[in-house]
Chain A
Amino acid sequence: MRTSSLITWTVWKALFLREAVGRLSAGRAAWAWILLEPVVQVIFLIVLFGFVLQRLVSNIDMGLFVATGVLGFGLARNTAMRIKDAITANDTLLTYRQVLAVDTVLVRAGLEALLFLLSALCLFTGLGLLGYQIFPHDFLQVMSAFVALWLAGIGLGLILSVAAQLIPESGKVGGILLGPLYFVSGIMYPPSVIPPAYQSWFLLNPFVHGIETIRTGFFPQYHPISGVSMGYLLGFVMFTVCLGLALHVRFATRLVAK
């Protein structure tokens, strides 16, 4: 007789391997696209907004400025979006009683973190070879902000994954809402240029707090928008993760029942 925690552990391991194989063999050279996606985004943004950024953040490397934004936001959004669809994508595996809906969601979050680490490593190595100063002055602060953004993505994804199963439309709406956040998270411009009258609105977006914290950890001379607080982001994480897990417990049978 195996204990429940042992079963969960073996299910997580098996699902992780399955997800990883599925992700990396999804198309021709799927792994290359995963690694290169943030690199392409950074180049794209620098080409588009480089001349404006030059004046806005004159005291910082532009490439690193955009890279921190793209990576921070991408981690949170990709995690949320990937795990939102985890239950539907793994529908056939719910045939096995050992596999719970929440397992598929959490395992995807873990895989997303691993793929993020690899793509971030790839991007920073590239920037380093181009001569950028890629070592943050406060490594711990940068890492903890990334982890918090990842957890925020998990929290949102947990909620959306249940919502998408109960009301299919809500999954679509959630995805649509996450799109515009890209433009109000201060990725291609420093949030401090937002007029003060609107800053309190701007700071409602929890991702801003994470991205700004990453940047202050990276560049000692960076001036973040005032009012940035990791506490706000962590509060958001606590709320969404707890609510998401509670929804998974409450609707455990509904997620399996057809």
Chain B
Amino acid sequence: MIIADQVYKRYRSNHGMGKWVLQDVSFTIPPKVNVGLVGRNGAGKSTLLRLIGGIDVPTRGLVERRCRVSWPMGFGGGLAASLTGRQNAKFVCRIHGHEEDLQDRLRYIEDFAEIGEAFDKPIKTYSSGMRSRLQFGLSLAFDFDVYISDEITSTGDAAFLKKAAVAFKSLTDRAGLIMASHADGTLKEFCKAGILLHEGRAYWFDSINDALTEYRKSIDR
């Protein structure tokens, strides 16, 4: 279960505080419910995912995680550019306390990412699709109750999309998923509920279809 209670967020810059990105956002995500996050560019989707993932803290309000939540997979980062994919994977395994079965996890990540020799090349030589593959494999290598995806599928090729779909499907039995995406098909396929972010506010919909309809309306307006 993830609870956001009156969350406000604005970013600090060298010229003082920026404008509010999120205002008075409150919702409760029940266990094992897949939620799609929709909203236009700059609506605060990544910000909200970072707050849920605990990478950033709200300016005001509270985000409570009563389960194990992954870090946002996708554009969020989490990879050191000068190190190789394998070195990054080792680091993540180590901080999650998997020193003993390190080799098994590495093999899983390498197999899943399917980036070949690039696994032993620095991250800065990767294309965005290769980064996505690695990041996706990395977070799937650990057991979380909720996985957060920030457009992880948007840069992938057809093979990766297929792989991601299988992975997401197998996840739904044991874990929840919170995903931001601009692809209606992906959202409809994997998500039950939806959150629409519009002008800093969040609106909860029990059905992703309603969320998408409302999103279309908000654009036309």
Contact A258 B95 (CB under 8 A): no
Q: How far is the CB of B105 from chain A (nearest CB, A)?
A: 13
Nearest B residue to A89 via CB reads B80
Q: Annotate A76-100 by CB proximity to B: 1 below 8 A, 0 otherwise.
A: 0000000000000001111111110
Q: Which one of B70-78, B180-188, B212-220 is at the A interface?
A: B70-78
Q: Are B14 and A168 in contact (CB under 8 A)?
A: yes
Distance to closest chain B CB from A91 (angstroms): 8
Indicate if the CB atoms of B94 and A95 lie closer than 8 Å: no
Q: Is B16 an interface residue (CB 8 A)?
A: no
A25 to B121, CA, bound (A): 13
- B11 CB-CB contact with A under 8 Å: yes
Interchain CB contact under 8 A, B96 and A256: no
A56 at the B interface (CB under 8 A):
no
CB of B159, distance to nearest CB on chain A (Å): 26
Q: How far is the CA of A6 from the CA of B98 in the complex (A)?
A: 12
Cβ A92 vs Cβ B95 within 8 A: no
Of A16-24, A31-39, A203-211, the one touching chain B: A16-24
Contact A2 to B97, CB < 8 A, known contacts A95-B71, A256-B55: yes
A22 to B95, CA, bound (A): 17
In Å, the complex CA distance between A95 and B72 comes to 8
A257 at interface by CB-CB < 8 Å: yes
Q: Which of A7, A13, A21 has the most CB of B within 10 A?
A: A21
Contact indicator B97/A6 (Cβ below 8 Å) = yes
**Alpha-carbon separation in the docked complex, A50 to B91 (Å):** 48
The reply on B57 being an interface residue by CB < 8 A is: yes
Could you tell me the distance in whole angstroms from the C-beta of B124 to the nearest C-beta in chain A?
Answer: 12
Q: Is the CB of B78 within 8 A of A258?
A: no
Looking at the assembled complex, report how far the CB atom of A136 sits from the nearest CB atom of chain B, in whole angstroms: 38
**A256 partner, pick from B57, B95, B97, beta carbons under 8 A:** B57
State whether B97 touches A97 (Cβ < 8 A).
no
Q: Are A92 and B77 in contact (CB under 8 A)?
A: yes
- Bound together, the chains give a CA A162 to CA B131 distance in angstroms of 31
Q: Does A10 contact B (CB under 8 A)?
A: yes
In angstroms, Cα B65 to Cα A92, docked, is 22
Q: Does B48 contact A (CB under 8 A)?
A: no
Taking a contact as CB atoms under 8 Å apart, the answer to whether A93 and B83 are in contact is no
- CB-based closest 3 A-B pairs: A14-B94, A95-B78, A92-B77
- Which A positions have Cβ atoms within 8 angstroms of B? 2, 6-7, 10-11, 13-15, 17-18, 21-22, 25-26, 91-99, 168, 253, 256-258
Known: A10-B99, A11-B95, A99-B95. 7 other contacts (CB 8 A): A10-B95, A10-B97, A17-B91, A92-B79, A95-B55, A95-B71, A256-B55
29 A–B contact pairs at CB < 8 A? Answer: A2-B97, A7-B95, A7-B97, A14-B90, A17-B94, A18-B87, A18-B91, A21-B87, A22-B83, A25-B82, A92-B78, A92-B81, A93-B80, A93-B91, A94-B55, A95-B55, A95-B71, A95-B72, A96-B71, A96-B78, A96-B95, A97-B54, A97-B55, A98-B95, A253-B57, A256-B55, A256-B56, A257-B57, A258-B12
